[in-house]
Amino acid sequence: MNSATQRTTVAGPAGAIECAISTPAGAPRGLAVLCHPHPQHGGTMDNKVVQTLARALVQLGYRSVRFNFRGIGASLGVWDEGRGEIDDALAVIAAHQTAGVPLVLGGFSFGAYVASQAATKLATAAERLVLVGPAVQNFSVAAVPADTLVVHGEVDDVVPLSAVFDWARPQALPVTVLPGAGHFFHGQLPVLKQIVVSAWASRAAA
């Protein structure tokens, strides 16, 4: 993401997991762990949407950790159809989380599915979830807390907006729709970043 980003590995259930850690100026207000899109379709922790989420959360004061799922980059192991990838996320959280420190869990596309499922397995609830372009058609994205930030592109050609509404509707869960945006938010990443930052400001003012 920038020269200040530290690359390291942590132990995972299938071997070493490659991580990229970005730290804000001053004492962090919490930890943010971010999950990347589908490993079988070119997804890595360096995906532009995931990097945008990391930048937003660092700006908000969180220590941001991106990581590569098993079999991607320097992470060991092989694709496990979304099951072991949840375990990878939990291992990264366990390696970086300190007791009493707030956790934000986020993800893009397939990564949003992983983040939602990992959140259901945490002993202590995450402070907030951030799900961008959640892959609700091909994966079982879990029900999420009411204050979850869900952002989706109006003209997403990978995950139709209507499918996200069908997932969100039974939960009475708001969805922030970015007009004209496709699945990868080309040309609109600065707007996506501002949506995330503004969501924290709105909650603080509530």
- Indicate the domain borders of the chain: 6-199
- pLDDT tens-place string over residues 119-172: 999 999 999 999 999 999 999 999 999 999 999 999 999 999 999 999 999 999
Count of CB atoms within 10 A of residue 168's CB?
Answer: 21
For range 193-200, the mean pLDDT:
97
- pLDDT tens-place string over residues 13-55: 999 999 999 999 999 999 999 999 999 999 999 999 999 999 9
Q: Which CATH architecture has domain 6-199?
A: 3-Layer(aba) Sandwich (3.40)
112 neighbors 163 (Cβ within 8 angstroms): no
Residue 2 has pLDDT above 70, yes or no: no
Nearest to 140 by CA among 79, 82, 84, 87: 82
Nearest to 111 by CA among 176, 66, 168: 66
> Which phi-psi region, left, alpha or beta, contains residue 122 (left: φ > 0; alpha: ψ -120 to 50)?
beta
% of the chain with per-residue pLDDT over 90: 95
Predicted confidence at residue 57, as pLDDT, reads: 98
Residue 191 and residue 3: Cα distance in Å, rounded? 24
Three-state secondary structure call for residue 74:
coil
Predicted confidence at residue 4, as pLDDT, reads: 79
Mean pLDDT, the chain, as a whole number?
96
191 neighbors 166 (Cβ within 8 angstroms): no
Residue 179 has pLDDT above 70, yes or no: yes
Residue 174 and residue 148: Cα distance in Å, rounded? 8
Helix axes of 110-120 and 83-96: crossing angle, nearest 10 degrees: 60
